[in-house]
Structure 1
């Protein structure tokens, strides 16, 4: 199956990071989702009930980003993947999360963590 719904560059303000100041002050996080699912029925019926309601996906991801705290981006990304896989139609999800402010000496634009997870049988 190669059908996908992609949500790119969703922007949220969250309180995640290893350092206490990151969890207190917060910062912007950017999220991409690439969800693999069967869209053939929705393509034929043209009804929302036969597809993934990506407004619901957005709202659940927003809740994770804005109402939880993680020290590691890896844990945040895993939690987002688990949340997206809770939608029964989603068979696989690739999650990318970026942030711009890092306590790292040096010059670069972003740090990003990306994972791909499949629904367990």
Structure 2
């Protein structure tokens, strides 16, 4: 069986996640990448959007969940994965990577990230 993957990469968000009070008030830059394994066979034949996963839906779910404050990006990532499974038909597996740029961890660090695969 062929493996068919849709990726939506580089979803830019400004969100207010973090355990520090400053993060709740100031916010920060995040990038989210989503990868979904599905089956393209129906869309190969029909050439219709209704027969595949719409990238707009993926982006909307990510933006919506990133707008809800959490202390941990792990928590946000879990919510994104859960909604993808609930709202998008035909997902065989999914992967979400959330990158938090310039985290306040007292060092010279570009970013931190979490990856959840289900």
Q: Once the 2 structures are TM-superposed, how far is the Cα of residue 89 of structure 1 from its aligned partner?
A: 1.5
* Post-superposition offset of 1:95: 0.4
CA-to-partner distance for each residue in 1:27-57, whole Å, 9 max, x for gaps?
1110000100011110111001111111112
Using the size of structure 2 for normalisation, the TM-score is 0.92
CA RMSD of aligned residues (A): 1.1
> Is the counterpart of residue 53 in structure 1 residue 54 in structure 2?
yes
TM-score (norm 1): 0.90
The 1-side partners of 2:16 and 2:107 are apart by 23
Contact 2:6 2:36 in 1 (8 A): yes
Unaligned runs of at least 5 residues, structure 1:
none
Deviation beyond 4 Å, 4+ runs, structure 1:
none
Do the aligned residues in 1 keep the contact of 2:99 with 2:112 (CA within 8 Å)? Answer: yes
Displacement, 1:101?
A: 2.5
Pairing 1:110–2:104 present: no
Counting only pairs closer than 5 Å after superposition, residues 1-121 of structure 1 correspond to structure 2 as 1-66=2-67, 68-86=68-86, 87-117=88-118
Distance 1:51 1:79 in 2: 22
